[in-house]
Amino acid sequence: SQELEQSPQSLIVQEGKNLTINCTSSKTLYGLYWYKQKYGEGLIFLMMLQKGGEEKSHEKITAKLDEKKQQSSLHITASQPSHAGIYLCGAAHNFNKFYFGSGTKLNVKP
């Protein structure tokens, strides 16, 4: 979706390294969601951010929302092969429109 830009499109990191994925919106965000997808499978919900400056963590994954910049980042600390997959951000821009970014494909080399 052009409403949500994700970067990078793909990422290969060595196991144990940290990484960051970004999601940028051209419109006001009413809620930002991060999902993970294994190839050929459904999406697994990771985190939801609603307030500017909000930060949430789950295990080694931290997500932040900067509402002024209309940007969210997903940071993985000490990456593991189990983190590999496609990470997608999704957001609601108005009353009934929900968009997804095109995804970031992550590979973690053991």
Partner 1 sequence: DGGITQSPKYLFRKEGQNVTLSCEQNLNHDAMYWYRQDPGQGLRLIYYSQIVNDFQKGDIAEGYSVSREKKESFPLTVTSAQKNPTAFYLCASSTVSGGTIYNEQFFGPGTRLTVL
List residues binding partner 1 (CB under 8 A).
1, 4, 6, 9, 30-31, 33, 35, 40-45, 48, 88, 90, 92, 95-96, 98-103
DSSP string, 49-79: E-STT-EEEETTEEEEEETTTTEEEEEESS-
Task: Report the nearest approach of partner 1 to the CB of residue 101 (Å).
Answer: 6
Task: Report the nearest approach of partner 1 to the CB of residue 61 (Å).
Answer: 16
Task: Report the nearest approach of partner 1 to the CB of residue 37 (Å).
Answer: 8
Pairing outcome for strands 55-58 and 104-109: unpaired
